[in-house]
Amino acid sequence: MGRRVPVELESRVRRVRQSRGLSQAELARAVGLSPQALSAVEAGRYVPNTAVALRLAQVLGCAVEDLFVGLPPPRCRCSWRRRHRPRGCGWAASGTGW
């Protein structure tokens, strides 16, 4: 399994699994996970390690990139947006700010 990480990812595993007509138990067995672990991955509570992500993609017949998508950084909510440009600010980095 993976570990709890502060990464913003959208898990599309459930959507792909359902489109293939597989139950959670069937996919978990084929990948070598417990149904509880697969449920956590599908809900986005855990990010699987590379080996598990590759097995999921192989069993589901898709690329890992089809199963997990990075979410954009949050926009800056700073009330001083027009007066300064904080470093590392998601608003400034997105190119949609000022």
Q: Is the pLDDT of residue 98 over 90?
A: no
Q: Check residue 94 and give its pLDDT.
A: 47
pLDDT digits (tens, 9 = 90+) for 7-43: 578 899 999 999 999 999 999 999 999 999 999 999 9
Q: Check residue 15 and give its pLDDT.
A: 96
Q: Where are the domains of the chain?
A: 9-70
- The string over 65-90, giving b where at least 16 C-beta atoms fall within 10 Å of a residue's C-beta and e elsewhere, is eebbeeeeeeebeeeebeeeeeeebe
Decide: residue 43, CB within 10 A, 0-12 exposed, 13-18 middle, 19+ buried.
exposed
Q: How many CA atoms lie within 13 A of 28 on its CB side?
A: 14
The helix or strand, by DSSP H or E, that contains position 38, with its residue range, turns out to be: helix 35-43
| Topology (CATH level 3) of domain 9-70 | 434 Repressor (Amino-terminal Domain) (1.10.260)
